[in-house]
Amino acid sequence: MSTDMSVVSLQLGQCGNQIGHELFSVISDDSSGPNRKYKQCSDERFFYETSTGGLVARSVLVDMEPKVISQAIAKASKSGRWRYGDKAHFSQKQGSGNNWANGFCVHGPHHEEAVEDLVRMEMERCDRLAGIFTMMSVAGGTGSGVGTYITQRLRDLYPNSFILNQVTWPYGAGEVIVQNYNSVLTLSHLYQLSDAILVHENDTVHKICSRLMNIKHISISDVNKVIAHQLASVLQPAYTADSTCHYSTNPIGELLSSLVCHPEYKLLSLCNIPQMSSTSLAYSVFNWPGLLKHLRQMLIASTRMEEGIDWTVSSPSAVTSGGEGATNSRHKSFNLSLANLLILRGKDVSTAVTDGFKDPALYVPWLKTENSFSTWTSPVAFNGYEKSATLVSNSQSLLKPLDSIVRKAWNMFASRAYIHQYTKFGISEEDFLDSFTAVEQIISSYTHL
């Protein structure tokens, strides 16, 4: 009988705190339904029990201004099912002003001790630590700047712990004008510190809300709920290859070993189907072959939502030796993967046939296919969906949005716009150039797979 490992979460900045709260809500709701087989495991993973019997999230909330944290704490308490620790948050009076330099060079160092103390408290509370899971956006000042600084500190303090960073990329047509600068600075630094970076894009999630879930008036909360649903589908207990008769006790470690084979490639994307409004859900029936076929096409055509899938993209015919032949016969939009992790939850999951994902043509030739593809399963229906499938991918699918971010940031940098706002706080033009180089390197690595 193995003891379950626990995940310590870190919610950073406005976005990180909003998503964090939704995540714990989804996890708690999902585990608490009738006939929930993994409640105990899930509770141990994400919560701890107080002497009065209430569940408290293993989470530290950090923001430079207090409004969002107060809201998250209040909403959690209202749920009656779980809450945040009374002292497990840190905030200041004044935000980082959307300025990465302010977050990284000023606020981060100023408050590092206080935040580290809070994280240490949570870590010491765990019997066994599965890893650190952080949530932040890359567009603003606190999540991105302070978040990166804290990640750096945690990496120094806990060199042997897994660190998984969930990041949210903003809408392409802006939310913050300097978002592209902040994104480049964040990603270049995180890449050296993190074990893996799990990416959500607001544009994609927004489309899921509007086209698949038919939400007429989409709010930030709707977007965050979808992200939380996707994250929970990965983090909730499941049976894995290493752990077939009891729920895996090392979820983050196994995730990383399935997907991140080489430190140069650590960008992960998520797809989850089906996603639809609860009214449609009542009338829909799913079968595994259908779901898996769609998911596979979404992977190779690089669509991260179940609509507008390009079915003309196909994998090259089976290639045995790889190399030249494979590259030439690949459709130009074909998305090459390094590794994929399929997580299937729901009824009759044992009947699901996943061979479509084992096709070597989907993967880079220099990795053995058996190392590139893994499946996790759970017979328990997840969050209201009788059957659901999640694909976590390490592939080229984030290339286009990443390239777009860098292109816009570079054009802005060429005119030196807004640079004075960063140099004021200690980030020089040299620092910018270093960051651009680092991210171009990431792009190059993935392009030349």
Partner 1 sequence: MTQSIVVQVGQCGNQVGCRFWDLVLREHAHVNQMGVYDEALSSFFRNVDQRCHCLVPNITENQVYLCACLQAVLVDMEEGVLAEILQGPLRSLFSSTQLISDVSGSGNNWAVGHHTYGLVYREQIVDQVRKAAEHCDCLQCFFLIHSMGGGTGSGLGTFVLKLLEDEFPEVCRIVTSVYPTAEDDVITSPYNSVLAMKELTEHADCVLPVDNQSLVDIVGKIQHMSNTGKLGCAIKKDCTIISGQGGVVKVEKPFDAMNNIVANLLLNITSSARFEGSLNMDLNEIAMNLVPFPRLHYLVSSLTPLYTLADVNIPPRRLDQMFSDAFSKEHQLIRADPKHNLYLACALMLRGNVQLSDLRRNIERLRPTLPFVPWNQEGWKTSLCSVPPVCHTHSLLALANNTCVKSTFFELRECFVKLYRRKAHLHHYLAVDGMELAEFNEALSSISALIEEYTHLESPLMPNAPRLTIAT
Residues forming contacts to partner 1 in the complex (CB under 8 A) are 14, 18, 65-68, 71, 92-95, 97-99, 141, 171-178, 206, 209-210, 215-223, 406-408, 410-412, 414-418, 420-421, 436-437, 440-441, 443-444, 448
End-to-end CA, the chain = 42
Minimum CB distance to partner 1 smaller for 12 or for 295: 12
Amino acid at 180: N
Adjacency order of strands within the sheet including 55-57:
47-49, 55-57, 82-83
Angle between helices 147-157 and 108-125 in degrees, nearest 10: 50
Q: How far is the CB of 192 from partner 1 (least distance, A)?
A: 16
Q: How far apart are CA 347 and CA 376, in angstroms?
A: 14
Q: How far is the CB of 432 from partner 1 (least distance, A)?
A: 11
Minimum CB distance to partner 1 smaller for 380 or for 427: 427
Amino acid at 294: H
Dihedral angle of Cα 273, 279, 285, 289, to the nearest 10 degrees: -10
Minimum CB distance to partner 1 smaller for 280 or for 441: 441
Dihedral angle of Cα 321, 323, 324, 325, to the nearest 10 degrees: 40
Instruction: State how beta strands 387-395 and 267-273 pair.
Output: antiparallel
Q: 14: how many CB neighbours lie within 10 A of its CB?
A: 23
Q: How far is the CB of 98 from partner 1 (least distance, A)?
A: 5
Q: DSSP string spanning 102-168?
A: IIIIIIHHHHHHHHHHHHHHHHHH-SSEEEEEEEEESSSSIIIIIHHHHHHHHHHH-TTS-EEEEEE
Q: Where do we find the tokens 């489309």?
A: 207
Q: How far is the CB of 301 from partner 1 (least distance, A)?
A: 24
Minimum CB distance to partner 1 smaller for 102 or for 250: 102
Minimum CB distance to partner 1 smaller for 74 or for 157: 74
Q: How far is the CB of 416 from partner 1 (least distance, A)?
A: 8
Q: How far is the CB of 125 from partner 1 (least distance, A)?
A: 31
Minimum CB distance to partner 1 smaller for 281 or for 412: 412
Dihedral angle of Cα 365, 356, 38, 120, to the nearest 10 degrees: 20
Minimum CB distance to partner 1 smaller for 245 or for 414: 414
HSE of 408, CA atoms in CB hemisphere, 13 A: 18
Minimum CB distance to partner 1 smaller for 40 or for 219: 219
Q: How far is the CB of 440 from partner 1 (least distance, A)?
A: 5
